[in-house]
Amino acid sequence: MPLSDRDRALLAFEAARPGHSGAKEEAVRTELRLTPARYYQLLGRLIESGDALAHDPLLVGRLRRARDARERTRRARASGAA
């Protein structure tokens, strides 16, 4: 399924504002009219899309690697805490 205008806007927003900060969260609210939680939910689903990968392979690849690294860290903490 081709990317929607919103999907392209989310990718462009993330490309322009990498990382996490209070200023970024405020921009999510004002520019995209989303809560930060909803933004990251949508972005997380979007980066699983082959269309998103085709649209911006460097950005989507970076986001996937960051997500995978966070997951590995969570697993390591969970296994160490058990």
What does the domain layout of the chain look like in residue ranges? 5-81
Q: What is the mean pLDDT of residues 40-64?
A: 97
Residue 50 has pLDDT above 60, yes or no: yes
Residue 17 has pLDDT above 70, yes or no: yes
Q: What is the mean pLDDT of residues 27-56?
A: 97
**What is the pTM for the complete model shown?**
0.85
**Phi, psi (deg, nearest 5) at residue 42:** -65, -45
- Structure-model confidence comparison of residues 21 and 25, the more confident one: 25
Q: Are 60 and 52 in contact (CB under 8 A)?
A: yes
Q: What is the mean pLDDT of residues 63-82?
A: 90
Amino acid residing at 2: P
